[in-house]
Amino acid sequence: MLSFTFRLPTPIVFGPGTLAELETTPLLPAGTKALIVIGQSGNILRQGYLARVQGLLGARGVMTTVFDGVRANPRTEDVDAAARQARSMGAEMVVALGGGSVIDSAKAIALAASKDAPFWSAFAGKAYDGVKGLPLVAIPTTAGTGSEGNGAALICGEPGKRAFVHPAFFPSLAVVDPELSASMPPRLTAVTGMDAFFHAAECFLSTARQPMSDMLCLEAAHLVTRFLPQAVEHGDDLNARTALAWASTAAGMALALSSPISQHALEYSFSGSGKGSEHGAGLCILSRPYFLRLLELAHARNDEETLDRMLNLAVAMGFGAGEDDEGHPFLMGLQALLEAVSLDELSAEDLGFGREDLPALVAAAMEHKELRNFKNTPVDMNEDDVRAIFEGTFRRKV
């Protein structure tokens, strides 16, 4: 029987030009000191986004200090450094201005600021249980992770990449202004957009799904398929950027209501390795062998529900509702989408991995076997399945 919990506590201000509402919105957390968290690439400064946010907050009497040390695939030591800075300045809120790595880091920073202890070990030791942390304002400048819509954060440490979940990670306010993503170059647009697509596809197939997540997932899958190629080719198309911004946020909210499945757990072997690989690119490389294996397992076990759901995803993507001699429509749609955004020829080698890394990739993925991503996968995947999937990510046969 149907049973679920629905909770999405974050107010979201959405639409082109909504960044300006920072100056007037009554939803801004109370306080006069804010730590603004940005990435170390410098793009937020070059685009003038930091100055705009500082000006809007300053008009409300909010003084700001900047932490600009967030890396792609954010590290726990960066979280600790920023948390010390927040405590030192007496921050009353944290403002995340950037992509998924920045927002995930800011979630951890806002919580870690409450304790003078290393984030990773404190979280593992349950030191943050019941802790509210500092209020967080999330302002995404990319469209893909949807981190502004959920209570999870991906952080890297010595053990690898881990998804941390905490009630305090839901932002107190999210401002999603699609105009901020218009400066994204084509490749970044493509890989982040595909991240949103896989959030939607995985959460739709997850055994943790619920009716509200299903609606969000199908909407996001449809919008990414329709508008991502347009945004990659014409970055200044605000209609496409707006559709992708909503797809990203919708899929991000689905993560809070459902769960990704083991495709994400396998990808952590790539982006959590320390090689600096892009999370979205890793998902793209895994996707075809992963979903092919999932389909094979579902067929072998007569899992009609999973097979039907994959057809529903295909329909949302604009592909036929029945399997034919050309293959499964979801796999056909996925291949067409990857080709349309020039990500179809990516391989594990492009991320810096060789055939000799296969055992380590499999071992790293199997360390997540007892976590929710594997547990919520609709078919059981063992080590042989995982190895076969990773074998399919290399250009040459392993």
Is 109 within 8 Å of 79 (Cβ atoms)? yes
CA dihedral 129→133→138→144, nearest 10 degrees, is -20
- Averages of pLDDT over runs of 10 residues in the chain (398 residues) are 90 99 98 98 95 98 98 95 98 98 98 96 95 98 98 91 95 99 97 99 98 98 99 98 99 98 96 86 98 98 97 95 72 98 97 96 92 93 98 80
What is the reported pTM? 0.96
Q: What pairing do the DSSP bridges indicate for beta strands 93-98 and 136-140?
A: parallel
Contact 199, 152 (CB under 8 A): no
At the top level of CATH, which class does the domain 12-181 belong to? alpha beta
Topology annotation, domain 186-391: Dehydroquinate synthase-like, alpha domain (1.20.1090)
CA distance 272 to 154: 10
Residue range(s) of every CATH 1.20.1090.10 domain in the chain:
186-391
Cα–Cα nearest to 320, from 304, 305, 306, 336: 336
Q: What is the pLDDT of residue 323?
A: 58
Q: What is the rounded distance in angstroms from the CA atom of residue 285 to the CA atom of residue 219?
A: 23
Pairing state of beta strands 63-70 and 152-157?
Answer: unpaired
β-partners of residue 157 are: 160
Tokens of 6: 């629905």
Give the whole-angstrom CA distance, residue 262 versus residue 145: 17
Length of the chain: 398
- Structure confidence at residue 397 (pLDDT): 55
Q: Cα(125)–Cα(133) distance, rounded to whole angstroms?
A: 16
* CB-neighbour burial class of residue 300 (10 A; exposed 0-12, middle 13-18, buried 19+): exposed
CATH 3.40.50.1970 boundaries in the chain: 12-181
CB 361 within 8 A of CB 282: no
